[in-house]
Structure 1
Amino acid sequence: MDSETSTITEVVETILQPQSVESSIELPPEQWSSLEIVIPEENKKKLLYDDGLYDPGSGEICAKYITISASSILRHPYYNYPAIKDPGIEEALLKPEKLIVYPDDGQELYLATCREMNQCPVRSFYKGLLDDEIDLRYYCVSAAGIRAMAIALRYNKTVKTFNLTDNFLNDDASYHLGEMLLTNNSIKDLILRGCRIGPTGVLRLFSPLPNNRGLQNLDLSYNQIGDQGMEHIAKAVFYGLEIKNINLSYNNITGKGVMMLAEPFETNNKFTHINLSWNKVFSPGSYAFLLKLSESTCLQELNLSWNSLSGARLSLALKDILLCPLLRDLNLSNNKLEGEAIVNIIANLGKAKKLVTLNLSYNPLTPADALKVLNKVKSPAVKLQRLYLDNVFVAGDFLNLLARMRGMKSKKNIIVTYGGVVGSFIPKGPDIRELILNRVEFLTKRSKKHPTDIALIALQLQKENRSIISVKDFLTIIQASGAPLDENLVEELCMTFPGPRTAKFRTINIDLLVEYIQRKWPDRKLPPTPPPEPEPEPEPPPKKGKKDAKKKGKGKK
């Protein structure tokens, strides 16, 4: 007990030793009483501080130790506890959520959108986001799938062609494609062939297109647009549509539909290639459209095939189309152009300085019409290089003129196609003349009671110098001979050996009939004519007798 008491006494004495200086004077650090406290060798905070896992904090001293600290000490080195850090509650409550920024190629955005919409990503589209073309023909893409694709393509700068041929798209898909084209100016070709978007889909697709400056080619063939859809296209053209090449074939568009483009073309017409094939442009309204289109300074190619175009009035508008300064290709095949219409169309060929191809195939042109076209093309002022007249029959004059043209220096490389040559056609198979005469021979020889021979009848008519006989008279002669021939067969015989024809009746040429009969049956001839019977000699006058002389004498007296 004594030893313990003495030890405690010594410690107390050391701690409570009176100071030789005033409390207001700051003591040197080595004399601070707090430094005499024994610090454990394994201080947890010290170890954490050395590892960079503990921060002493802001410098505020815990209120518990202020009373035992000197008033002159501003910072306690070991008992300064840090404040609790905000785990993110303030940021979550007062600041908006940070947006996730995806790369411009759209691959990560596409996967995230498909994950959010619970859609299966399309691998071909995902890989195509890094290529020039995305080809999804016949892929059966749904409207929800189109939405995810449109979101991924909004800021893509790589894809130039987007092909959705024969994917049936509804109004929602058309809307998302239009929204995508609001921000994407990199896509040059959009192919929607056979997507059946209809007029309502055209409305949603074309509404934002006037704000797009990148799309150049738009294929809307086989989409059942109709005249109602043309109304929405006309409105987009009026507001500044920048598309250069548009394909509207197979859309059941009539003249009323194309007429709606006439008014917008007065203020804006940037089309260079227009395809209106396989529609109904022949109906009223097409004249105003063609007349306004002829004022275009950008048109390079126009396809009006399979539209039943005909008539002289419509051909006048087609004639003005040739005045477009940049026109290179005009396709008028498979229509009903002929005669005066062809003459009107080719009248301005010499003024079409850029025209390279003119297609008039499968029109009902006569050989004379074809010759007129070629005569016009022969002119040195016409720069045409390809003239297509497929299924148009020509005559020998056409071939001779074509041969002379190819001998010319300016026309030696011209390409001209045509159907067949009228004069060089050689029939094959049985001769119709032989068939009819065989039939007549069979019917006339069948009767045993009254057999007749058509060859002898014809020879007899020629012998009587009756070379040209009307069909009615020839039928009467056949019936009088007793030949069992019906009227139709006799008329067919007359058409096979025709004679001069008048406005009132037809004739048969007996000389042609006899000429063929002599080659077919050379042994048949008329029986020889018997020599004429000698005329009976006149009886001599009776001799005068004596009795008669006496009678005469008596009378005189």
Structure 2
Amino acid sequence: MSSEDFQDEPVTVDVMILDTKSESSVEPPIEEWPSLVISIPEENNKRAMYKTDLYSPGSGEICTKYISMSDSSIFRHPYYNYPAVLDPGIENALFAVDEKKIYPDDGQELYVAVCKDMNQHCVKIFQKGLLEEVIDLKYYCVNSAGVRPMAIALQHNKYVKILNVTDNFLNEDACYHLGEMLTTNCCLCELILSGCRIGPAGARRLFAGLAVNRALKILDLSRNQLGDTAMEYIANAIVLGLDVKKIYLSYNNISGKGVGVLAEAFQTHNKFTHLDLSWNNLFSPLGVYNFLSSLSENKFLQELNLTWNSMSGPRLGTAIKNCMVAPNLRHLNLSNNKLSGEAITNLIGNMSKAKKLVTLDLSYNPMTPDDALLVLTKMKSPAVKLQTLLMNNVFVNSNFLDLLQQLKEMKSKRNTVVTYGGSINYFKPQGVNIRELVLNRAEYLAKKSRKHPVDIALVALQLLKDKYVIMSAKDFSTAISKSGAPLDDDLIDEIVNAFAGPKLAKSKTIDIRLLADYVKRKWPERQLPPSPLPEPEPEPIPKPVKNLKAGKGGKKGKK
């Protein structure tokens, strides 16, 4: 069969039409709901018992587990009497993020909010000062608990540069919050905590994160009872890169042990320009010598204050001499110590190498007029650039005044300032001179013995002839004993005092030149025999005499 055979035949198509009107989406009335069709049994025991008051059906409510939820469009099932409980806010409390309030950078509103949370009174002068450069709270009796809101308000403040909390007792917790503030604050330049009694524990909290701060340049910790323990915390901060330029540590009972720890830290990092260690206990060379020697390598040090430390002795004088070599040292304060004698001699050894030293303060030291003259003589050198020499309460003599007048006449020293306590008018003894008195007594005792008398004048001249110029008191006593003069120790000591030589650290000396000069003027007729003694000339040997008569007669007899 081909396809042409089907062209004339009709095609039948079955079409099924759905009757959409037979069913409707409209819900049937309530009366036709199957759930309302309740089949009541013919015999109901509960109904019978209810009629006899033996059964109570209760409230008439149906347990919810027997009620099925309807999926229709009815809003609420007629028998569903327990609507769902709305969320009282638990989800928001657990999962929703509270909007954080952003406070201005000045910290005023933040300070008030934190004080309100902590139930603290706001310090109005601090609140107003947050918009100024200086906040002065000295002697203000600031509560230690009130430091926390202050520190929080200053964390991001960009106005305050100086915070003064002088003489407000701060505990360890207050120092902790100040230390936390310094780790984030980038504007505060000066922090004054003088007299706050923070102690070693407070210093530990304060310096915990101070090394990361690059804005703070001045830190005043005077009168805080730090001791040697707190020096370890400061040393740790220095090793980590502490950027503070000026630090004040006076009145803190720091000894040589504490500054010895700082000396070790200075080998790693040393950028202090001003260092105040006055009113401490730096009188022992142990630790202090290394500390001052380490400061000589500091290229930034400009001012060093070592007053009221009872510093004395030649070793500490040498340590100060080493410290003066610091390249940029301009002011050195050594007043109110115990420097004298050999310590002063060692101290001024490097004065010519201190090219930028402008002021040297030696006031209220037990210096003698000779010490003052020695310092001024060193200052006269053209290599010394010192401009101000302070020696208040140091008495000088006429030689010092003459040299000072010569110094002022020099062109390079016209602007030099030199202060001193006063001039000494030498006492001219009337009557008996102490030198003549002790020599007369020594002469009497030396010649008292009839068997072995000793001339004390010749003993003094012999010592000078043997080239003894300066002798210690002990050596002089030994020389007198060897000469045979029976002088007691008290008289020898008075002779040493009358003809005193330069002072040493441990012993007194006598100047033999002064003794011999006075002896020559007192007894000019007494002189040592010439030495060596001239040898006697040998006697000439007599020549033999010839017998002329015998010779002539003999000759004649032979003939």
Give TM-score, length-normalised by structure 1: 0.62
Does residue 1:155 correspond to 2:156, yes or no? Answer: yes
Distance 1:254 1:230 in 2: 10
Q: For 1:263, what is the secondary structure of its paired residue?
A: helix
Q: Provide the C-alpha distance between the structure 1 equivalents of 2:268 and 2:493, rounded to a whole number of angstroms.
A: 61
Q: Report the counterpart of residue 374 of structure 2 in structure 1.
A: 372
User: Could you tell me the percent identity over the aligned residues?
Assistant: 59
Q: CA deviation at 1:256?
A: 0.5
Letter in 1 for 2:256: G
Equivalent residues of 1:174, 1:197 under 8 A apart: yes
CA displacement 1:426-451 (0-9 Å, x = unmatched)? 9xxxxx999xxxxxxxxxxxxxxxxx
Deviations 1:190-233 (A, max 9, x none): 00000000000000000110111111000000000001111111
What displacement does 1:144 show? 1.1
Deviation at 1:87, TM superposition (A): 12
Aligned residues: 365
Paired residues for 1:219-238 under 5 Å: 219-238=220-239
Checking the alignment, whether the CA contact within 8 Å between 2:259 and 2:287 is kept in structure 1 is yes
Q: Tell me, yes or no, if structure 1 residue 397 matches structure 2 residue 386.
A: no
Deviation at 1:282, TM superposition (A): 1.4
- Is the Cα–Cα contact under 8 Å of residues 438 and 491 in structure 2 kept in the other structure? no
**Alignment match of 1:322 (pick from 313, 318, 324):** 324
Looking at structure 1, the residues matched to 93 and 241 of structure 2 have their Cα atoms a distance apart, in angstroms, of: 46
Aligned pair 1:244/2:245, yes or no? yes
Amino acid at match of 1:133: V
- Could you tell me how far apart the structure 1 residues matched to 2:172 and 2:191 are? 17
Q: CA deviation at 1:362?
A: 1.0
C-alpha distance in structure 1 between counterparts of 2:427 and 2:443, whole Å: 33
Change (3 A) 1:93 1:467: closer
What corresponds to 2:337 in structure 1?
A: 335
Partner of 2:105, secondary structure, is coil
- 8 Å CA contact retained: 1:470, 1:505: no
Q: Corresponding residue for 2:363?
A: 361
Instruction: Tell me the distance in 2 between the aligned counterparts of 1:169 and 1:467.
Output: 66
Distance 2:427 2:271 in 1: 49
Match of 1:256 in 2: 257
1:503 corresponds to which residue? Answer: 492
Tell me which residue corresponds to 2:95.
94
**Residues 308 and 336 in structure 1, CA contact (< 8 A), matched pair in contact too:** yes
- Displacement after TM superposition at 1:89 (Å): 8.3
Equivalent residue letter for 1:323: V
- Cα shift readout 1:16-71 (whole Å, capped 9, x = no counterpart): xxxxxxxxxxxxxxxxxxxxxxxxxxxxxxxxxxxxxxxxxxxxxxx89xxxxxxx
Q: Aligned partners of 1:127 and 1:88: how far apart in 2?
A: 40
- For 1:342 and 1:252, the matched residues in 2 are separated by 26
Map 1:253-332 to 2 at 5 A: 253-283=254-284, 284-332=286-334
Structure 1: which 4+ aligned runs deviate by more than 3 Å? 86-94, 466-473
| Letter matched to residue 160 of structure 1 | K
Residue 115 (structure 1) aligned with residue 116 (structure 2)? yes
Task: Look up the match of 1:128.
Answer: 129
Once the two structures are TM-superposed, the CA of residue 379 in structure 1 deviates from its matched residue by: 1.2
State the secondary structure of the residue aligned to 2:393. coil
Say which SS state the counterpart of residue 394 (structure 2) adopts: coil
Residue in structure 1 matched with residue 197 of structure 2 by the alignment = 196
Change (3 A) 1:152 1:90: same
Mark the CA change 1:470 to 1:344 in structure 2 (over 3 Å): closer, same or farther.
closer
The Cα shift of 1:262 comes to 1.5
Q: CA deviation at 1:425?
A: 8.1
What residue identity is the alignment partner of 2:354?
A
Q: Which amino acid in the other structure matches residue 266 of structure 1?
A: Q
* 1:240-267 alpha-carbon deviations (Å, 9 max, x no partner): 1111100000000000011001111111
> Which residue of structure 2 aligns with residue 484 of structure 1?
none
Q: How is 1:45-60 mapped onto 2 (pairs within 5 angstroms)?
A: none
User: Per-residue CA shift, 1:515-557, capped at 9, x if unaligned?
Assistant: xxxxxxxxxxxxxxxxxxxxxxxxxxxxxxxxxxxxxxxxxxx
Against the structure 1 CA distance between its residues 161 and 468, is the aligned structure 2 distance closer, same or farther, given a 3 Å change threshold? Answer: closer
Q: Give the Å deviation of 1:469.
A: 6.1
Residue 470 of structure 1: how far off its partner (Å)? 4.5
The aligned amino acid for 1:183 is T
- 1:94–1:418: structure 2 CA closer, same or farther, 3 Å change rule? same
**Structure 2: tracts of 5 or more residues without a match:** 1-72, 75-86, 445-489, 496-559
Structure 1 pair 149–402 and aligned structure 2 pair: CA distance change class (3 A): same
Distance across 1 between alignment mates of 2:90 and 2:340: 85
Query: Does the CA contact (< 8 Å) of 2:190 and 2:216 recur in 1?
Result: yes
Task: String of CA shifts for 1:361-382, please: whole Å, max 9, x gaps.
Answer: 1111111111111111111111
Amino acid at match of 1:408: M
Q: Distance in 2 between matches of 1:470 and 1:339?
A: 31
Displacement of 1:397 after TM fit?
Answer: 1.1
Distance 2:271 2:102 in 1: 37
- DSSP 3-state at the match of 1:358: strand
1:307 and 1:335 in contact (8 A); partners too: yes
Cα distance in structure 1, aligned partners of 2:290 and 2:304: 16
Distance 1:132 1:106 in 2: 14
3-state SS of 1:390 partner: strand
Moved more, 285-294 or 111-120: 285-294
Cα drift, residue 270 of structure 1: 1.2
1:270-329, Cα deviation, whole Å (9 max, x unpaired): 111110001001122111111112111111110111111111122111111111111000
The C-alpha deviation readout for 1:399-434, integer Å capped at 9, x for no partner, is: 1111111111211111110011012789xxxxx999
Code of the residue aligned with 1:280 in structure 2: it is: N
Whether the aligned pair in 1 keeps the contact of 2:438 and 2:494 (CA below 8 Å) is no
CA contact (8 A) 1:274 1:301 kept: yes
SS at match of 2:336: coil
Kindly state the Cα deviation for residue 110 of structure 1 after the two structures are TM-superposed: 0.4
Match of 2:388 in 1: 386
**Which stretches in structure 1 are left out of the alignment for 5+ residues?**
1-62, 65-85, 427-431, 435-457, 459-465, 474-500, 507-557
Residues 306, 240 of structure 1: alpha-carbon distance in 2 compared, 3 angstrom cutoff: same
Q: Partner letter of residue 403 of structure 2?
A: L
**Deviation, structure 1 residue 118:** 0.5
